[in-house]
Each structure stands twice: as structure tokens, then as C-alpha cells.
């Protein structure tokens, strides 16, 4: 019988790519999610019955244990950028990974992979970054041979980074930024999934790997690159820290006073604290080279999905060509 992997958060941005790779490698895949009915799109990744979404709440022991019963490996991709309701950074990114590792060890699961993030630091002034570090520590306490992957900002057709900023260009001539001078090393989501696949299959030694793409650029430069891809001209404006701070505080308070009816997906104070630091691979860190993976560049991928933000969408190149013919 083929081996079984349980992927917590397997219908999310990186999780779906890992699920697809594991199915292609011949593994049976359990996609453990809060809403299985919304994750049915993962089933065609494999043969009939090979990939199955199942109900799981990572805050509950019994639910987590049921999802990993009989598994040969587990992958935890669950994470949040904004706290809402019971989904707090501590619960989702610190306690849940430790819970999964503890129960996996009790059930004799051979391997565990945790998707963390560059910048994970228990002493960070960001709850996001500190909770990621506590989650890593909890995993290593129970599964010391686990593989921890720390990607930089991930890009791909479903990302919430380039897609979000490209969408903002439709709203006006100015593209405001917080932390525009901070460095990023964007990594293609399928390269992170490839690293996870190697770890699940036992082809990656235990340890922490920081994963960044081949290009390191400031946030401002990334926006200029994105504008070039979508053929739009916008003024990229780096907001002063104090203005960004007022905006983040206001949006956070609006979420609080509306009891969650408004979710601050624009800019939080915690995100602002993260943006004050570079998000790049450390000089002494293990990374793609140690895994035998050559990361894909942004240039090779961004045009494949950002074309829809061009003024004329898929017809933009045709209109440019026609204009050149008229000028000729």
C-alpha cells in the first residue's frame, strides 16, 4: 500500500502545492482543513480517492489525532497573518504545531515538516514572528528530527502579495507602501513545496532551512517590477513610519470596535513591526543549495498570472502590436 501523508492546512496557498506534489509522487494525501467542502478542488490532484479533504480543528487534540492516524508523515502549513476570533497567533502558530508534533510522536509518525517563516524569533517585537518561533520550539521538543522550512514572501498565482498590490493599482495613481526600503527575497511557492516533498520523503536531513529566491530587492523595487509586468505607471510612495503607524492603529481599532465584522487585511501594527526588518536568508543558514533545488526567478513566473491586471488584460500585447503597426 502507498504511504500516507497528512497535510494540515493542505488547501491553503502552499499546502495545495505540497498536496499536488505528494499525489504525483504516489502518496495518499489527507488534506486536513476547517471546511472540507471548500477544499474539494484538491481531489483531482490524484487518482480517485488518493487525495481526500477531511475536517480538522488544529486547536483540538482529538481532531488533530484523528487526522494523523496511520500517517507516515505530517506537514503543518497552517498560519495566519491577521488575528480574528479564536484564531490567535499563539493558538494557531505556537500551540497548534506543538500539538501536532506531540500527537504525531505518540502515534509513531516517522516524519514531520513545519512551514514557518524567515524572521521567526522568540524575542521579536512582532507577535507573528515570536509565535512562529515558539511553534518551531514546540515541534522540535516532540519531533527533534523534524524539518523546518522558513520561506521568505512566497509568490505564485494564488498569492496574497503581488496580487494584492497589483489590485491596488486599479484604485488610483499612487501606490502607498509601508517599509518600502526593507529587503525581501521572494520565493516561488512550488519551490517551497518541492523542499517539503523532499523532507516528507526523507531526502532532506533534519534541521532548519531558510528559503529565498534568486533575487533580493527592496519592497519598493518589487513594486516597480510588478508595475513593469502589468504595464501600469504609478507613483510608488513610501509612507513615513508615523503615518503608517496611525493607519495601522486605526484599522486595528476598527476591527476591534466592529467585533470582527471588519477584518484588518490592509495593514496591522504587527505587520508594521515585521516590515521594519529585512526578510532575507541568513548568511549561515541552510537553504535550497543544501536541498539540491534551484529556485525559480520572479521573471519566469509573474507574467503568467499578473497579466490580468494589465489595462487590457490578455489583449494588452495585441493592442500594443496594433499600435506599432499604425505608427509604421
| pLDDT one-digit tens code per residue, 181-195 | 999 999 999 999 999
- Average pLDDT for 29-35: 97
Q: How far apart are CA 19 and CA 275, in angstroms?
A: 30
pLDDT of residue 327: 59
Look at residue 260 in the predicted model and tell me its pLDDT: 80
Residue among 120, 108, 107, 110 at smallest CA distance from 147: 110
Cα–Cα distance for residue pair 86/84, rounded to 1 Å: 6
> For the segment 144-180, what is each residue's pLDDT rounded down to a tens digit?
999 999 999 999 999 999 999 999 999 999 999 999 9
What is the dihedral sign for C-alpha 117, 35, 156, 234? negative
* CA 320/CA 220 separation, integer angstroms: 27
Query: Predicted confidence band at 259 (pLDDT cuts at 50, 70, 90)?
Result: confident
What's the gap between Cα 206 and its chain centre? 21
Fold of the 4-158+185-213+278-295 domain:
Rossmann fold (3.40.50)
Rounded Cα distance, 307 and 318, in Å: 13
Per-residue model confidence (pLDDT) at position 296: 98
Instruction: Tell me the average pLDDT across 248-270.
Output: 92
pLDDT tens column, 88-134: 999 999 999 999 999 999 999 999 999 999 999 999 999 999 999 99
pLDDT given at position 83: 94
The pTM of the full predicted model, rounded to 2 decimals, is 0.94
DSSP characters over 39-62: GGGGGGGSSTTTEEEEE--TT-HH
Question: pLDDT > 70: what percent of the chain?
Answer: 96
Q: In the prediction, which pLDDT does 15 show?
A: 98
Tell me what pLDDT residue 312 has: 80
- At residue 257, the pLDDT reads 93
Characterise 207 by phi-psi region: left (phi > 0), alpha (psi -120 to 50), beta (else).
Answer: left
Q: Count CB-CB contacts under 10 A for residue 61.
A: 12
pLDDT at position 320 over 70: no
Q: Who's near 321: CB < 8 A, 6+ residues apart? A: none
Provide the pLDDT confidence category of residue 261 given band limits of 50, 70 and 90.
confident
Residue 22 has pLDDT above 60, yes or no: yes
Alpha-carbon Rg of the chain, whole angstroms? 21
pLDDT in the model for residue 71: 98
In this predicted structure, what is the pLDDT of residue 318?
Answer: 67
For the segment 46-53, the average pLDDT, to the nearest whole number, is: 97
> For the segment 212-222, what is each residue's pLDDT rounded down to a tens digit?
999 999 999 99
Give every CB contact of residue 270 below 8 A, 6+ residues apart in sequence.
89, 126, 127, 128
- Given a contact cutoff of 8 angstroms between Cβ atoms, the answer to whether 184 and 152 are in contact is yes
Over range 20-48, report the average pLDDT.
97
Asked whether the predicted pLDDT for residue 322 surpasses 60, the reply is no
Does residue 316 surpass a pLDDT of 80? no
DSSP state of 212: -
- Please identify which residue in the block is written with the cell numbers 502518496: 27
**What are the C-alpha distances in Å from 171 to residues 166, 168, 174, 310?**
10, 5, 8, 13
Q: What phi, psi does 109 have (nearest 5°)?
A: -65, 135
A 10 A CB-CB count for 9 gives 25
Give the list of residues 6+ apart from residue 291 with CB closer than 8 angstroms, or none.
194, 195, 198, 204, 209
For residue 145, the model assigns a pLDDT of: 98
Amino acid at each position: 500500500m502507498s504511504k500516507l501523508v497528512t497535510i494540515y492546512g493542505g488547501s491553503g496557498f502552499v499546502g495545495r502545492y505540497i498536496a499536488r506534489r505528494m499525489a504525483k509522487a504516489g502518496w495518499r494525501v489527507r488534506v486536513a482543513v476547517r471546511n472540507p467542502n471548500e477544499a474539494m478542488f484538491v481531489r483531482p490532484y490524484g487518482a480517485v480517492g488518493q487525495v481526500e479533504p477531511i475536517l480538522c480543528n488544529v486547536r483540538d487534540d482529538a481532531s488533530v489525532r484523528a487526522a494523523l492516524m496511520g500517517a507516515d508523515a505530517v506537514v503543518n502549513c497552517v498560519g495566519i497573518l491577521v488575528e480574528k476570533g479564536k484564531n490567535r497567533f499563539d493558538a494557531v502558530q505556537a500551540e497548534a504545531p506543538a500539538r501536532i508534533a506531540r500527537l504525531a510522536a505518540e502515534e509513531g509518525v516517522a516524519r514531520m515538516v513545519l512551514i514557518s517563516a524567515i524572521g521567526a524569533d522568540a524575542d521579536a517585537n512582532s507577535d507573528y514572528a515570536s509565535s512562529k518561533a515558539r511553534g518551531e520550539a514546540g515541534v522540535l521538543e516532540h519531533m527533534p528530527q523534524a524539518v523546518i522550512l522558513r520561506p521568505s514572501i512566497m509568490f505564485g498565482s494564488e498569492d496574497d502579495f503581488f496580487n494584492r498590490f497589483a489590485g491596488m493599482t486599479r484604485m488610483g495613481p499612487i501606490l502607498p507602501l509601508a517599509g518600502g526600503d526593507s529587503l525581501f527575497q521572494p520565493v516561488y511557492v512550488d519551490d517551497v513545496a518541492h523542499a517539503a516533498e523532499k523532507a516528507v520523503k526523507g531526502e532532506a536531513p533534519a534541521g532548519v532551512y531558510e528559503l529565498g529566491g534568486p533575487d533580493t530587492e527592496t519592497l519598493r523595487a518589487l513594486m516597480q517590477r510588478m508595475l513593469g509586468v502589468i504595464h501600469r505607471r504609478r507613483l510608488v510612495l513610501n509612507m513615513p513610519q508615523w503615518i503608517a503607524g496611525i493607519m495601522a492603529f486605526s484599522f486595528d481599532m476598527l476591527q476591534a470596535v466592529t467585533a470582527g465584522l471588519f477584518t484588518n487585511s490592509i495593514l496591522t501594527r504587527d505587520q508594521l513591526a515585521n516590515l521594519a526588518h529585512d526578510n532575507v536568508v541568513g548568511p549561515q543558514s541552510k537553504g535550497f543549495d543544501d536541498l539540491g533545488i534551484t529556485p525559480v526567478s520572479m521573471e519566469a513566473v509573474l507574467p503568467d498570472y499578473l497579466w490580468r491586471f494589465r489595462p487590457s488584460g490578455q489583449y494588452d500585447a495585441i493592442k500594443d502590436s496594433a499600435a506599432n503597426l499604425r505608427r509604421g
